[in-house]
């Protein structure tokens, strides 16, 4: 019965080295203890009634355990024996932690807030191939943030037009150019043509600037085609592949990472708001970010605080902390700040994040009054000023930064 899953009476705490510990936010008209026990049963070994097929010793070994209830915050904490989980299988983990429990009648709304993983589970995953340090080494960028841009408009440019816009950005100070989340291989912009043209111009920009550049090309597709696209990127001299990790699925991300292409994996979180935005229902971005780190993403969109996308300072910096903290040998993941950014926001963002961040500007570069080239120069000027400990106001007081001055006049700070 459900009551058998309550371990609130234990004098000794649960051994967290042998358990996954999940925190849920629960909305229900029923007593929170009963609901917590229902979640523990459904997500481990039990169901709504006693079972003649369950030996008691096996129940004690494998059942989930309700270890904490915070009625004031509607939070319940459940510990899961590590034996419940197949190692290196995030799909199975989600089927348990965030599967049938969302359909229980006892629950009006449920949200997975966080999961703490034991070392035994984490060490089955490869994690990022590059991580923060590898990306900085690849670019040779250490004392400032990485400057990125998304080609705009999102859709509509031909492959050659896309490549030319990318070149204008790279040649004028941008480090990383990425496809937008819904650009894959459309009739007006074939993926394979875009890769050839864009990587050719990346090499040209590298030769002209003396700087290493990154093109994060969106390979999101069915698994076999995803691999063909990744291999084509590599064959044409690319060093990075982008994946929409939620629409493609975390198992696709794992599969891509296991190919060991020696390419940076840029993770876009398109569709995350369907799971994360409602603070009473779904899955937190913190949990998704931890799963993405296990699966092998090197850099991940997690929010900007100051841009157009939702996500407050506490939430975004909390996710960032989880991606940057030591984790049983799993490399750190680079924070990608993207969505509504422009040069005037650089100072505020860097104060919160420091230099280990990709500052991604789309419209904030291509919408510059002087066009993409001027927008790229304005963004790079902002980053370099801030990295030198200076304020953006300096651009208003001198003639040394005309592009940045124009950007500040258009968008402000």
Read off the pLDDT of residues 202-222 as tens digits, 9 standing for 90 and up.
999 999 999 999 999 999 999
> Domain of 83: which CATH number?
3.30.70.150
Both 114 and 137 in one domain: the answer is: no
Domain span holding position 240: 131-411
**Span 55-75, mean pLDDT?**
91
Question: What local confidence, expressed as pLDDT, does residue 12 receive?
Answer: 66
> Domain of 329: which CATH number?
3.20.20.110
Read off the pLDDT of residues 237-271 as tens digits, 9 standing for 90 and up.
999 999 999 999 999 999 999 999 999 999 999 99
CA 17 from chain centre, in angstroms, equals: 26
Both 157 and 41 in one domain: the answer is: no
Both 298 and 350 in one domain: the answer is: yes
Both 77 and 158 in one domain: the answer is: no
Mean pLDDT of the chain: 94
**Residues 6+ away with beta carbon under 8 Å from 123:** 328, 329
Pick left, alpha or beta for residue 56 (phi over 0 → left; psi -120 to 50 → alpha; otherwise beta). alpha
Read off the pLDDT of residues 303-320 as tens digits, 9 standing for 90 and up.
988 866 556 889 999 999
Q: Is the pLDDT of residue 385 over 70?
A: yes
**Residues 6+ away with beta carbon under 8 Å from 82:** 18, 19, 20, 118, 120, 121
User: Which of the residues are catalytic?
Assistant: 152, 268
Question: What local confidence, expressed as pLDDT, does residue 61 receive?
Answer: 87
CB-based burial, 121-139: b 16+ in 10 Å, e otherwise:
bbbebbbbbbbbebbbebb
Read off the pLDDT of residues 160-197 as tens digits, 9 standing for 90 and up.
999 999 999 999 999 999 999 999 999 999 999 999 99
**Total of domains in the chain:** 2
* 8 A C-beta contact, residue 201 and residue 405: no
Both 181 and 295 in one domain: the answer is: yes
């Amino acid at each position: 019965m459900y009551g058998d899953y309550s371990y609130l009476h234990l004098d000794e705490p649960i051994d967290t080295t042998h358990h996954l510990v999940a925190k849920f936010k629960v909305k229900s008209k029923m007593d929170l203890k009963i609901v917590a026990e229902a979640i523990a049963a459904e997500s481990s070994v039990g169901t709504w009634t006693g079972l003649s097929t369950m030996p008691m010793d096996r129940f004690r070994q494998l059942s989930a355990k309700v270890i904490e209830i915070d009625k004031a915050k509607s939070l319940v904490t459940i510990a899961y024996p590590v034996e419940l989980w197949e190692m290196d299988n995030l799909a199975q983990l989600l089927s348990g932690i965030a599967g049938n429990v969302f359909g229980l009648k006892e629950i009006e709304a449920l949200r997975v807030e966080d999961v703490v993983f034991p070392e035994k589970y984490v060490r089955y995953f490869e994690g990022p191939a590059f991580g923060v340090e590898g990306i900085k080494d690849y670019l040779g960028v250490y004392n400032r943030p990485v400057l990125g841009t998304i080609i705009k408009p999102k859709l509509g440019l031909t492959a050659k037009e896309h490549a030319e816009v990318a070149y204008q950005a790279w040649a004028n100070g941008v480090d990383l150019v990425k496809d937008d989340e819904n650009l894959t291989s459309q009739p007006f912009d074939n993926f394979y043509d875009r890769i050839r043209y864009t990587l050719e111009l990346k090499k040209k920009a590298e030769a002209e600037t003396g700087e290493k550049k990154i093109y994060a090309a969106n390979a999101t597709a069915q698994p076999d085609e995803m691999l063909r696209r990744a291999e084509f990127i590599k064959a044409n001299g690319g060093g990075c592949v982008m994946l929409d990790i939620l629409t493609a699925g975390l198992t696709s991300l794992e599969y891509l990472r296991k190919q060991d292409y020696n390419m940076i994996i840029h993770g876009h979180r398109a569709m995350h708001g369907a799971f994360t935005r409602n603070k009473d229902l779904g899955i937190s971005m913190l949990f998704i970010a931890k799963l993405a780190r296990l699966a092998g993403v090197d850099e991940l969109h997690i929010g900007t605080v100051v841009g157009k996308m939702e996500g407050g300072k506490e939430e975004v910096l909390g996710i960032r902390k989880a991606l940057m903290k030591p984790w049983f040998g799993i490399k750190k993941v680079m924070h990608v700040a993207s969505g509504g950014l422009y040069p005037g926001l650089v100072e505020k963002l860097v104060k919160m994040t420091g230099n280990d961040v990709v500052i991604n500007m789309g419209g904030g570069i291509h919408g510059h009054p002087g066009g993409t080239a001027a927008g790229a120069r304005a963004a790079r000027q902002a980053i370099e000023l801030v990295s030198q400990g200076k304020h953006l106001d300096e651009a208003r007081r001198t003639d040394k930064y005309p592009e940045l001055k124009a950007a500040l006049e258009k968008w402000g700070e």
